[in-house]
Structure formats: structure tokens, C-alpha cells
């Protein structure tokens, strides 16, 4: 491609409303432009990257045996009503009416449509397993779209759905998809981790997320220092501290703690560490039939935080998790939220594993302005129900048994789920099994955020001069920058020769033949992030050389003109993909 | 691809609600499935065809120098309000509201978005001309979606928009696009014609449609027998009959024609040919300021039909064209519509060229139950305004001056427009010209119905056994059908060998390894329309041969196993695209 005939829409200024580096650089490098909140146009340079990501995803999905289909983006409400999600799905579902007033949505995902297709097309277990995927524009009406294409409303996604006669077959395909995802993210040159994840509202029993590690990530990812264990913090198991619970040593004592509201206040006032205190959170209980919705107390060590996902998944707790109001608490317990504790509490209590390991601890006295010290489980308060309620923290022992936990930020770029039969049951998607009996199919689903990958790659690959693309998804692998070409026919001729030579070898080449100052051209090529750069100049040609610089290199080097291609093949062996 | 692991969803029965052959065959061959009215899922086989069409379109667009972008499908209402189309565009525009109640539409086309982008990105004439295209899902909320993907609501389209400093530059790019479209449709193996077209509501001065010729087409396409002239009937010029108008020979006579309502009735009653009569249609005039909207009479030869597009485009006539009601006519003229004629008519008259060429003709007497015979222009009625008002008919002289006109049915698969400055003026899209002065850009736009092409190709390429794909867009170029492979390891081994050999040579191969009866497999491969077929059988292998049959061939032939590839290369030289 000749830059003189191509939209190089670089910008010097960092756009004010772009918070993360990938968003800033995609705007500055002329990869995307905003049309409206969460809606972006992909400019030619950005689209080249997107298409390369898409191609790698498609190639690996094909290799896995999945079959590509293309479902409509607009879906009839009837199918969503059949699955029950028309009511459940919140404001992210873009609902609309056609000219005849019929209800549709712009698909944020396609479980209903593919299940409807498969229940009509597949009749026998002999046709299973089957895995269908598409690479398609999705819409999720985010309340607060942000970070450019990282959390846009309209985005490109690869979604796959597999169908099985039984759980074993689902497990197999799930493993194949796990491997396929690793192959995809490897080829994309990303530093990523597959992590255990909560299955969330999409339903199902087991799931992994694939996270690109980056400080701008919106998720906390937990790793073991001693094994491959990795999980989203939503899911990471917090295990009890090692050893037996210490024996009780102090007497139960009520102490006045006037005006001490927070755990830190109370700990400082009583001169104990926050780790020696517990806090009590009150949430709504699962509603029983015909009864008023009760409350449940959750007990955590003072320095720990509640993991809402874990709490919500427990039997007996209302879903979604709902904190009790101050009024509810005063009515049920007779004191304000800041003074609650488990001793003689009138509502059911669930104790976190770490809180359950404490002896001689401090807690609220269920009496305004008072706390209890020297509290001990079983002696002073029964310990009926112990659960994993909290978020892990750095240094926690790993639940795998090896090493301790570290926490880093991650960007979710892929997610694989075992859906089980949630949708196949709702839509009655069956086949005949080996015995000629009707069997509900098991399902898996597997997503990749194709457009989000582009931003994630930038989060991991940039410097103060701009983007640094991995060769595999660079818009162009090589740039050829001409110096003063409009004055020197020799420079232009040599550049054209090299351009044709590299293109014939299969490289994507951007010939920067623009009539701009060298500094402008260099800065643009670096901002755009092209991994390899040759400079053709009069001075160099007189010496029979071109100048080469890799985007990550500190120094330039002179290469004999005749060696340019073989040099590049060594530097970028993936050229000519 | 192995058919045993691939969705071969063929059907024997012709679906009842599929009217045209392409729709029937796409359903029967398992290319598409209906999700809702005008919404189709592309199954794996169909999607392969769609992607091949898309690829050819992309390659030729890239070759033309156009730059690919990707704009959002969801567009903010504000831009459409700026162009004025938010109000003008009818029910086909799918309007919707986001969660915050803001108005958007699902883009049926992207003039506004691209013009907004370009007005922000391009500043100087030096950046022109520029031509941006995308291949993207569009939505048009057709009142009556029909013919499968031929007139679906959601469909895949290539749309391109070019920007220019002046008309000459637009003319140049328009010609380049004309050539690019011919290259695309040539590669797709379609029998097509570029035809002159009306620019319609999209605006602009000049346009060509590209039509695939097929009896199921919804457009009438007019050709000259003596030249390359071709036009949509909406646009095809009807010229006056040759020679001078004959001299008046008969006296003007009023005759009673009781109860004769139609032209045919009157002609039969008076024993003249319909070609010797005129009919008078009354339409609304263009509204003048502060005046009541008047009427205009349109005079056509009795055997001709009004071309509404031509009439609507004439100065003095209301747009959209609106027929006067019986009441309007009685009020203005004093008689019923069936009795009107141009003589002494109280409203302005526009006469079609052919009607203006008549002498001694018959027309209504503006008096219920009476006609005039022996009417002559100028002698009996002034001939102030003569225009081209009618649809051409077969046998008309070609407006190019050579040959006569033929009419065939066509399916519009492409359309190129000179838009002029309609959108650039509305959105104030300017650049600085050579003199540093602000100049409104000229625009062109260029569409191709990618998904419609798939259906059009089938309309042209099928027989009673199914689809016959051109090699360039066949889902698979070659099928290998095994006979009794589950009983014969030799057959399976030979088939695998051939499968790998042909794939390595670059062919898309479908290995039909299904455990089905030979008749079922042959019928499926023919229905699906794979152009080349090899059969591997025990009997053949014993003789060292495979059986080959081209999809259009009447007979099979035996080919030595070792010659299969070289034979195929001869039969399908485009293999290994």
C-alpha cells in the first residue's frame, strides 16, 4: 500500500476523553473514530488489524472441527421468551420493534437462535457432537460504554455453540475449545491466562475465562506462585488458614466503643489488629413461599471483603444479592448496622472460613456503642454454617495446595462455558439416542471478543512513541520510508523495487511515499506501530545500503540493499503468512 | 471437509412458501434457514458461497484503490436529521431507541456516516479523490420480504462512497467503479448487464444498475438489438416514431360512445386500432406557493403505459406522482375520468412523443358518453409541451439510433451513482481547494448486494436436480463420493489419498464419506451443486480408475487414478484460487 493513497489519520494530541492507553493510541494512530457513545468506525489501518485477528480466530476454529454459520443479528422476541431471557435480560438487551410492531432484539449473544436451529436440523445422536460458530457484530447496550473498542456497545465477536448427547462429549469438546483458545491467543502474541470463572447469568456448570494481563484490566485475576492455578477473583476459592483454630484464652467482655464506626476505628480504639476482629453484613434471604423475606448475617474477618458472587451462589441467600436496608436491620435486630455481631443474633448466621478460624476476637455487641472482646466460636456463639464468603487477598495460600496467591489485572478476551441443558431444556432441543429414545442435548458455548483483542494487544504492546504490533496482526508488517523521494528519482526507484520484492515474498508493506518531512514519517510509522522499518535515502543508496530498525530496537542498522529481504525473513519469519 | 462431520441439511420436499427457484434450492440444499420473515441463518454450505463472493468483491475493490473501513450498523438519528432523511425515509428504516431513549437506526445505507467521517478527516484537495468501502450487514425493513435472501430484511452489502474535488474526478472514479463491477461480475460467472438507471430517492445525477438476467427478476431491462444500449425500463428513453407527423385527413367529429369505458372498448366500438387513440391521465401539479394544487393532463397513445418515474421527474408535476381523484377531475373538468381528452381542456396538457406523432386520432370529448374522432394536433388542439412520458415496448426503435428494443427480466445486484453534492452540502463536507478556498466535495456511491448475488447465481445456474455453482463460488469445487467405504478399506484409503492430493493442490474438496446409499449421496452432491465429482468404488479401483462427472455433463467417464489431479486442473483451471 502506498501511504500517499491511504488514510493515515494520525493525531498528535491525546484525546481528552480516552482513559486507557489502547483507546488513546487507537485514536491517535487513526485506527478508529467514534461515531457515538460506544459506536466506532474502523478506519482502514485499524480494520486491517481486526481482519487479521478475525482470520486467526477463524483458522483455528476451523481446525478444531467447528463449522462456521452466520445467524441474523436481529432476533425475534419469541425465542427469548421461550428461554425466559426476554424478561431476565436487563437494559443491555437492545429491544426494538419492526414496522409491523413485532418485537425483536439486536443479538448480544445467540444461544436461543442456534438452539432453535439445531432442534430443527439435528435429529439423531449420530449427528453429534456438533459445534457451530460465527464471527459477527453484536450489540450490548452498556450503561456506560468506555475504553474505546474495549467496552463498546457494537463489537465483533466470535461465538460458538456445541451440542452433545451427554456430559462426557461436552467435556471433550470443552477441552478441545480450551486448546483452540490457547492456540489462538498464542498466535496473537498475547500474554494471557486461562482462569477459572463463575458461570454467571448465562447459566451452566463450569467455565474458564481467558484474560490478557494488563494494568488497565477491569478484572482481578488470581494466580498461584506454586502452580498453574489461576482464577477470576469472583471465583477464586479462599481456603481456611492452616492448622486448628487456636483455643479460647480470653473471657467474653462487653466494652464501650462510643462513636467508633468502622472496623479500623474499633481496632485502633481497642488496640487490636483488624485481623482479630469480625464484621457482620446483613443480606436478604432467599424468599420462602408465602413468607416475608428474611435476613441472613454474613460474618467476615475485619480485614476481608465480601465476594458477592460467592454469597449469591449460596443456598438460602437471595439472588441477586441484596444488602438489607438500615431499617430492615433495626427492625429485625434492634440496633444499627455498625454494631451488629454474631453473639445471640436473632437471624441465621453464615461464617466465612477465615473468620471461623479466629479465637478471642472482637465483634459488635448488637447494642449501639458497644463491642464484645474475647469472643470465641462455640463457647460464646454457635458455629453452624461455615462457607467461603470472601475475596482472596495477595499472600493467601493457593486453593490448589501449592504456593500462595498473587493478584493481577486482566482483560477478558475469551470465555468458555459448559452450559449444560439450560437452553436445550427450555427450547426442548432433543435428539434420538442409541436406544431410539428422546434425549435433551447438552450444550457448551465459547466466546471471543475479536475487537476487544485489538485493544488488549495494544495494552500489552506499546511505548511512549506508540503502538508496537506483533507481526501476526500488524496492519502492515513492514514500512518503507523514502527520504526526499520527490527530489530523488533514485530513492523512489529503489523504494519501489524493495516494495515489490517484499510484497512478492508475501509481506504486507506500507510504502511511505508521502511528501512529508522525515521526522513526521518516522513518528507516524512508530505511532502506527509497524514492526519493521526500512529507510531508503540518497545517502544510503550511495553506500549501497538501506537503514533497518525494528519497532522495539534501540538502534538502527545499515543493511546492504541486496540483503533486505533475507534480513527481513530472519527478523520476521512469519512473513508471508 | 468430511461430509460425515459437516452439516449436510438437504431436503427432498420443495418448501411450500418458496416462490422462486433460488429460494427453493437454497432451502433444499441446506444453504439457508429462515429465522423470521426476511431473516435467514446461513448454514455452513451457504456461508462458504457467501464468503467466496465477499472475497471476490473485496479483492476487486482493493485492486481499484478503494480503502476498506467498517462503520457501525447502528447510527445516531442526528446525522439522518442533518441530511433530512430521518423524515424522508419511509418504513424501511428500522428506527430504535437505546436504553437512554436516544434515537438510532439500523443502517440501511451509510451516506451520512461516511460523509460525517470524511468531513472530519479530510481537509485538503490533496487527499482527494478517496473511495471508502465496507462489506457489512444492512437492514431494510421491507414491507413484504420475499424470495429468500433475494429480498431479505437483513442482508450483506458492499457499499462504497467516493469523494472528489470536482465533477471530472467523480467521473473518473465512476468509470473505475464501472470497470471494477464488470470485473467482479465476470469473476462471479454471472450473465449480467450494466444498464442506465434512474437515480431515485438517493439523489444524484447519473447512475447505472448491474442486472443479472433471470426470468424471476423484478425489474424490466431494455436492450437494443443493434448496440450495447441497455437501461432499466424506468429510465429507458422512448423516442418519437420516425418521420414527420402525417397530415390531417379527417374532419373533427363528435361521436356518441355510450357505455364504452376503456380504450379497448372505444377502439372496438369505433373500429379503429388502439394505436390510433389517445388516453388522458390526470395527475397533481407541483404546488405553487400560496395556491391550491392544480392538475395536469398527461396524453399517451392508447396502447402505451405511463412511466411514473419519467412523469415524476418532469417540472410542473408533483413528486411523488399523485393521480387526481375522480372528484378532483369532475370539479376541474366537469366530466368523468373515462371521457377526458385534450381538446379544449381547461388544465395544462403534456403530450407523450408518440401521441404527439398521431394524426386523425380518437380521444375523449370531455363529455360523458362521447368521443372525438379525426382529431389533429395544432389544427384542433394546441401542442405546447411534448415529453417522454411512457414505458418503452418491445420493438420500439432504440434511443441510441441503432436497432430496436428488447425487454428482459433482471435482478439488480449492483448500483453505481453519481451523488453529486447532495450529502456533502447537507452535512457541509468541505476541503480546501488549490487556492485555499473551501469547496464542497462531490460524491459517488457504489453498492453491491453480496447475499443477493448468491441467489442470483442460482437463478442462472440450476437444473431439475439442483444448483450448478460456477467454480469460483462453489462451496466446494470437488466432491469425492465413496461407495460402500464402510465395507471396503481400499475405497476409503484411495478416497483419503485423493482428498489430500486435491486439497494440497488448493482445491476445496468435500469428501462424502457418509454411510448412506450411493443414490442419496449422488443426489445430495447434485442438489448442493458441486461442479466436479469423483466416485471411488471397489469396481473402479480394480480397474485402476475413478469415475468423474462434471455437474453439467450428461455422461460420466472413467479416469485413471493417477490422472485425477491433472484431469481436474484441466476441467477447473481456477482451482487453487
pLDDT value at residue B289: 65
Cα gap B312→B329, rounded to integer Å: 19
Place B247 in a pLDDT band, splitting at 50, 70 and 90: very high
Q: What span, in angstroms and rounded, lies between the C-alpha atoms of B406 and B397?
A: 10
Range B113-123 average pLDDT? 97
Q: Quickly list H helices, B428-516.
A: 450-460, 489-504
Per-residue pLDDT tens over the stretch B357-414: 999 999 999 998 999 999 999 999 999 999 999 999 999 999 989 999 999 999 999 9
**Residues of chain B found within 8 Å of residue A74, distances taken between Cβ atoms:** 39, 94, 106, 139, 153-154
Is the bond preceding residue B129 a cis peptide, omega within 30 degrees?
yes
Grouping H, G, I as helix, E, B as strand and the rest as coil, residue B360 is: coil
Packed helices A564-571 and A489-504: angle between N→C axes, nearest 10 degrees: 50
Catalogue the long-range contacts made by A380-384 (C-beta closer than 8 Å, 24 or more residues apart).
A380/A252, A380/A343, A381/A342, A381/A343, A381/A344, A381/A345, A381/A349, A383/A351, A383/A356, A384/A348, A384/A349
pLDDT at A336 over 90: no
The alpha-carbon gap from B218 to the nearest alpha carbon of chain A, in Å, equals 23
Please give the pLDDT value at position B130. Answer: 98
Instruction: Tell me if A574 sits within 8 A of A471, measured CB to CB.
Output: yes
> Looking at chain B from residue 128 to 187, which residues have their Cβ under 8 Å from any Cβ of chain A?
130, 132, 137, 139, 141, 143, 153-154
Domains present along chain A, CATH in parentheses = 43-73+108-237+407-458 (3.30.930.10), 253-390 (3.90.960.10), 478-571 (3.40.50.800)
How would DSSP label each residue in A109-125?
--HHHHHHHHHHH--BG
- Beta-strand ranges (E) seen in B74-190 are 74-76, 94-97, 103-106, 130-139, 154-164
Q: What is the mean pLDDT of residues A95-100?
A: 96
User: Taking Cα atoms as reference points, which of B475, B454, B460 lies closest to residue B552?
Assistant: B460
Q: Does B113 touch chain A (CB under 8 A)?
A: yes
A89 — contact with chain B (CB < 8 Å)? no
The closest CB to that of A35, out of B72, B106, B139, belongs to B72
Q: Does B74 contact A98 at a Cβ distance shorter than 8 Å?
A: no
Rg for chain B, CA atoms, rounded: 30
Integer Cα distance of A18 and A147 in angstroms = 7
| Cα atoms found within 13 Å of the Cα of residue B103, Cβ hemisphere only | 10
End-to-end alpha carbon distance in chain A:
17
CB A76 within 8 A of CB A104: yes
User: What pLDDT sits at residue B246?
Assistant: 94
Model ipTM value = 0.90
Do residues A542 and A552 touch, judged by C-beta distance below 8 A? no
* Section B249-271 average pLDDT: 92
Q: Quick one: pLDDT at residue B260?
A: 87
Cα(A462)–Cα(A469) distance, rounded to whole angstroms? 8
**CB–CB contact B41 A117 (8 Å):** yes
CA distance B76 to B112: 10
Confidence of residue A419 (pLDDT cuts 50, 70, 90): very high
Test mutation, B28, B69, B122, B144, chain A, max A CBs within 10 A: B69
Cα-to-chain-centroid distance, residue A341: 37
CA distances from B4 to A165, A169, B175, B350, B524 (A): 17, 17, 48, 68, 13
- Cα–Cα distance between A231 and A208 in angstroms, integer? 8
More confident residue, A216 or B440: B440
Q: Do the Cβ atoms of A75 and B35 come within 8 Å?
A: yes
Between residues 8 and 67 of chain B, which touch chain A (CB distance below 8 Å)?
9, 33, 35-36, 39-44, 47, 50, 65, 67
Task: Please count the other Cβ atoms lying within 10 Å of the Cβ belonging to residue B464.
Answer: 5
Q: Burial code of B179-199, b = ≥16 C-beta within 10 A, e = fewer? A: ebbebbbebbbbebbbbbbbb
pLDDT band, very low/low/confident/very high, at A574 (cuts 50, 70, 90) = low
DSSP letters spanning A297-323 = EEEEETT--B-HHHHHHSTTB-SS--B
Question: What is the rounded average pLDDT of the residues A76-100?
Answer: 96
- pLDDT band (50, 70, 90) for residue A563: very high
Q: Could you tell me the end-to-end alpha-carbon distance of chain B, in angstroms, rounded to an integer?
A: 17
pLDDT at B576: 42
Contact A67 B76 (CB under 8 A): no
- How far apart, in whole angstroms, are the C-alpha atoms of residue A47 and residue B72? 12
C-alpha B484/C-alpha A303 separation (Å) is 71
3-class DSSP state of A101: coil
What mean pLDDT is predicted for residues A125-146? 96
How many whole angstroms separate alpha carbon B202 and alpha carbon B307? 19
How high is the pLDDT of residue A286? Answer: 86
pLDDT one-digit tens code per residue, A499-553: 999 999 999 999 999 999 999 999 999 999 999 999 999 999 999 999 999 999 9
Asked whether B414 and B209 are in contact (CB, 8 A), the reply is yes
As a whole number of angstroms, the distance between CA B470 and CA A533 comes to 42
Asked whether the predicted pLDDT for residue B203 surpasses 60, the reply is no
Return d(Cα B558, Cα B484) in angstroms, integer.
Answer: 18
Taking a C-beta distance cutoff of 8 angstroms, is the pair B378, B405 a contact? no
Give the nearest partner residue to B72 out of A39, A104, A143, using CB atoms: A39
Task: Report residue A137 as a C-alpha cell.
Answer: 457484530
pLDDT at A575 over 60: no
For residue B44, give the nearest of A41, A47, A68 by CB distance. A68
pLDDT band at B486 (very low <50, low <70, confident <90, very high): confident
Does residue A418 have a pLDDT over 70?
yes
Proportion of chain B above pLDDT 70, given as a percent: 97
Length of chain B: 577
B117 touches chain A (CB under 8 A): yes
Strand order in the sheet with B349-352: B278-284, B295-301, B349-352, B386-387
Could you tell me if A279 and A300 are in contact, meaning their C-beta atoms sit under 8 angstroms apart? yes
Contact between B71 and B134 under an 8 Å Cβ cutoff? The reply is yes
Q: Is the pLDDT of residue B136 over 80?
A: yes
Q: Which residue do the cell numbers 464501472 mark?
A: B178
Q: Read off the pTM.
A: 0.90
pLDDT at position B105 over 50:
yes
Q: What is the rounded average pLDDT of the residues A346-358?
A: 95
What are the chain A neighbours of B104 within 8 Å (beta carbons)?
Answer: 36
Cell readout for A201 is 447469568
Helix axes A450-460, A21-28, angle to 10 degrees: 100
Given pLDDT bands bounded at 50, 70 and 90, which one contains residue A199? low
Confidence of residue B23 (pLDDT cuts 50, 70, 90): very high
pLDDT at A473 over 50: yes
List Cβ neighbours of B507 (8 Å cut-off, separation of 6 or more): B477, B478, B568, B572, B575, B576
Percent of chain A with pLDDT over 70: 97
Q: Which residues pair with A207 in a beta bridge?
A: A417
Cell numbers for B483: 461407495
Contact call for A67 and B137, based on CB within 8 A: no
Considering only CB atoms, B35 lies closest to which of A50, A65, A76, namely A76
Mean pLDDT for B281-304 is 86
Output the nine-digit C-alpha cell for B120: 472530519
Model pLDDT, residue B577: 43
pLDDT of residue A577: 43
Give all strands of the β-sheet with B253-256 in edge-to-edge order. B253-256, B370-375, B361-364
Strands A74-76 and A94-97: unpaired
Amino acid at each position: 500500500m502506498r501511504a500517499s493513497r491511504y488514510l493515515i489519520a494520525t493525531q498528535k494530541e491525546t484525546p481528552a476523553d480516552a482513559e486507557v492507553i489502547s483507546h488513546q493510541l487507537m485514536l491517535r494512530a487513526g485506527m478508529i473514530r467514534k461515531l457515538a457513545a460506544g459506536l466506532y468506525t474502523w478506519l482502514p489501518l485499524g480494520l486491517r488489524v481486526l481482519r487479521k485477528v478475525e482470520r486467526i480466530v477463524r483458522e483455528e476454529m476451523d481446525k478444531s472441527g467447528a463449522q462456521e454459520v452466520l445467524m441474523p443479528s436481529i432476533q425475534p422476541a419469541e425465542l427469548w421468551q421461550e428461554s425466559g431471557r426476554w424478561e431476565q435480560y436487563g437494559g443491555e438487551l437492545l429491544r426494538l420493534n419492526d414496522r409491523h410492531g413485532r418485537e425483536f432484539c439486536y443479538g448480544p449473544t445467540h444461544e436461543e437462535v442456534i438452539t432453535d436451529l439445531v432442534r430443527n436440523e439435528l435429529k439423531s445422536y449420530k449427528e453429534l457432537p456438533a459445534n457451530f460458530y460465527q464471527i459477527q457484530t453484536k450489540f450490548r447496550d452498556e450503561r456506560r460504554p468506555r475504553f474505546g473498542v474495549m467496552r463498546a456497545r457494537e463489537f465483533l465477536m466470535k461465538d460458538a455453540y456445541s451440542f452433545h448427547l451427554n456430559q462426557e462429549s461436552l467435556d471433550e469438546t470443552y477441552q478441545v475449545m480450551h486448546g483452540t483458545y490457547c492456540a489462538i491467543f498464542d498466535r496473537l502474541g498475547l500474554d494471557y491466562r486461562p482462569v477459572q470463572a463463575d458461570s454467571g447469568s448465562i447459566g451452566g456448570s463450569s467455565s474458564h475465562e481467558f484474560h490478557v494481563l494488563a494494568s488497565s484490566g477491569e478484572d482481578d485475576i488470581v494466580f498461584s506462585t506454586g502452580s498453574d492455578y489461576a482464577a477470576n477473583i469472583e471465583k477464586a476459592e479462599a481456603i481456611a488458614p492452616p492448622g486448628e483454630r487456636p483455643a479460647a484464652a480470653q473471657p467474653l467482655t462487653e466494652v464501650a466503643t462510643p462513636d467508633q464506626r468502622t472496623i479500623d476505628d474499633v481496632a485502633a480504639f481497642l488496640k487490636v489488629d483488624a485481623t482479630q476482629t469480625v464484621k457482620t453484613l446483613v443480606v436478604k434471604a432467599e424468599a420462602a413461599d408465602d413468607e416475608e423475606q428474611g435476613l441472613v448475617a454474613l460474618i467476615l474477618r475485619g480485614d476481608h471483603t465480601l465476594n458477592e458472587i460467592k454469597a449469591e451462589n449460596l443456598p438460602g441467600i437471595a439472588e441477586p444479592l441484596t444488602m438489607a436496608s438500615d431499617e430492615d436491620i433495626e427492625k429485625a435486630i434492634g440496633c444499627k448496622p455498625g454494631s451488629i455481631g454474631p453473639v445471640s443474633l436473632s437471624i441465621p448466621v453464615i461464617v466465612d472460613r477465615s473468620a471461623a478460624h479466629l479465637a478471642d476476637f472482637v465483634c459488635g455487641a448488637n447494642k449501639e456503642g458497644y463491642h464484645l472482646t474475647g469472643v470465641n466460636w462455640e463457647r460464646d456463639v454457635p458455629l453452624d454454617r461455615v462457607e467461603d464468603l470472601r475475596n482472596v487477598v495477595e499472600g493467601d495460600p493457593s486453593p490448589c495446595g501449592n504456593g500462595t496467591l498473587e493478584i493481577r489485572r486482566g482483560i477478558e478476551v475469551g470465555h468458555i462455558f459448559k452450559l449444560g441443558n439450560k437452553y436445550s431444556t427450555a427450547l426442548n432441543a432433543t435428539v434420538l439416542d442409541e436406544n431410539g429414545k428422546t434425549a435433551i442435548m447438552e450444550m457448551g458455548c465459547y466466546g471471543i471478543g475479536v475487537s476487544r483483542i485489538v485493544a488488549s494487544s495494544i495494552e500489552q504492546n506499546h511505548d511512549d512513541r506508540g503502538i508496537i504490533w506483533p507481526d501476526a496482526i500488524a496492519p502492515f508488517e513492514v514500512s518503507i520510508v523514502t527520504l526526499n523521494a520527490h527530489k530523488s528519482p533514485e530513492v523512489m526507484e529503489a523504494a519501489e523495487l524493495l516494495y515489490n520484492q517484499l510484497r512478492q515474498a508475501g509481506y504486507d508493506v506500507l510504502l511511505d511515499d508521502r511528501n512529508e518531512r522525515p521526522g513526521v514519517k518516522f513518528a507516524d510509522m512508530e505511532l502506527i506501530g509497524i514492526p519493521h522499518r526500512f529507510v531508503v535515502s540518497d545517502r544510503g543508496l550511495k553506500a549501497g545500503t538501506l537503514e533497518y530498525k525494528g519497532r522495539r530496537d534501540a538502534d538502527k542498522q545499515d543493511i546492504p540493499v541486496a540483503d533486505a529481504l533475507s534480513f527481513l525473513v530472519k527478523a520476521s519469519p512469519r512473513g508471508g503468512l
